[in-house]
Amino acid sequence: MNETITSILNRRSTRKFDVSLKVDSSLIEQILEAALWAPCARGLETTGIYSIESIERVEEIRKMMEEKDGNDSFYGAKVIILFTGRKDNLHDIRNASSAIENAMIAAESLGVSSCWIHRACLLNDEKYHDFFKAIGFKDEEEIMGSVILGYGEKTITKGRNKSFIHRI
């Protein structure tokens, strides 16, 4: 098995982070670059990639999430990457999803733990408009998903069901 497939197979969601360990900026840069090069419909780049790394901004987002969701759905992670697209646009949801997956595989290949956090979409709420505008969102832009990064324990999963593969 080559290194790419090994990274794909070894990637597991991490929901328990050692917050004393910081992800190096150069690793984040590589993960963002991998996300940027994800396939996108008609070659149109529509995915906004917002890597929230400042302690203050991460805390603001975490507080908003607690307000919305009743708990910290980002599991204490210190890096939150938000992936955006145009509201109600099906291509943009898919574009963002392919960028998210690229980011997570890249993270795994660099030894960085990650988890896809769809619940970040709860922050698509008018009351947070000013915050997201301040970090660069355009009016038509909304969160399509997010990835948290850090170092921690992979969640144990039951494995995958091979019967979903059909070779005809």
Ligand X SMILES: Cc1cc2nc3c(=O)[nH]c(=O)nc-3n(C[C@H](O)[C@H](O)[C@H](O)COP(=O)(O)O)c2cc1C
Q: Tell me whether residue 12 or residue 91 sits nearer to ligand X (CB atom).
A: 12
Contacts (Cβ under 8 Å, ≥6 apart) of 102: 34, 35, 37, 38
User: Angle 25-36/90-109 helices, nearest 10 degrees?
Assistant: 140
Residues 119-138 that bind ligand X (CB under 6 A): 119
Q: Residue 150's closest CA among 60, 58, 70?
A: 58
> Which is nearer to ligand X, 73 or 109 (by Cβ)?
73
Give the range of 8-16, 25-33, 50-58, 126-134 binding ligand X by CB under 6 A.
8-16
Using CB under 6 A, which of the segments 12-20, 21-29, 56-64, 124-132 binds ligand X? 12-20
Candidate residues 57, 60, 116, 131; the one interacting with ligand X per rule CB under 6 A: 116
Helix intervals (H) in the chain = 3-10, 25-36, 55-69, 90-109, 129-135
d(CA 149, CA 105): 12
13 binds ligand X (CB under 6 A): yes
Eight-class DSSP state of 9 = H
Cβ-proximal residue to ligand X, closest one: 118
- Residues 68-107 touching ligand X, rule: CB under 6 A, are 73
Q: Among residues 22 and 118, whose Cβ is nearest to ligand X?
A: 118
Stretch that binds ligand X, among 7-15, 45-53, 88-96, 122-130 (CB under 6 A): 7-15
User: For residues 148 and 82, what is the distance between their CA atoms, to the nearest angstrom?
Assistant: 9
Residue closer to ligand X by CB (options 20, 157) is 157
Can you tell me the distance from the alpha carbon of 100 to that of 80, in angstroms, rounded to the nearest whole number?
Answer: 12
- Interacting residue ranges for ligand X, rule: CB under 6 A: 12-13, 15, 73, 115-119, 155, 157
